[in-house]
Amino acid sequence: MANEEKRFYGVQFHPEVTHTRQGMRMLERFVRDICQCEALWTPAKIIDDAVERIRQQVGDDKVILGLSGGVDSSVTAMLLHRAIGKNLTCVFVDNGLLRLNEAQQGDGDVRRPLWSEHCSR
């Protein structure tokens, strides 16, 4: 599917999934050959850019982050910590949906690098 005039392109399948043969190759060719994008993005560059944007937005302010122990809040916490260091306070919230002893383990994993406080319901 395409709208050449607006330069919109789409597919009606999932080239990114593992069972699509040559899916990643299709995406790579689309990005590099059709869109003519350079492969400047790396995981390290993405992290560095996110940290810099956080620094610009937060400045010298302090941030309190509710931390559930899930991937989203954990990644957010680590990015914030890299960007603003001790100006971040994480509050680990035990929502009652974690596995047995997961709150205690997660709290210890987070407390060491991020200086979190533990709150339970």
Measured CA distances, 56 to 40, 60, 83, 95 (Å): 22, 9, 9, 32
The two structure tokens encoding residue 103: 């709150």
Binding-site residues from annotation for ATP: 68-74
Asked if 115 contacts 90 with a C-beta cutoff of 8 angstroms, the reply is yes
Indicate the annotated binding residues.
68-74
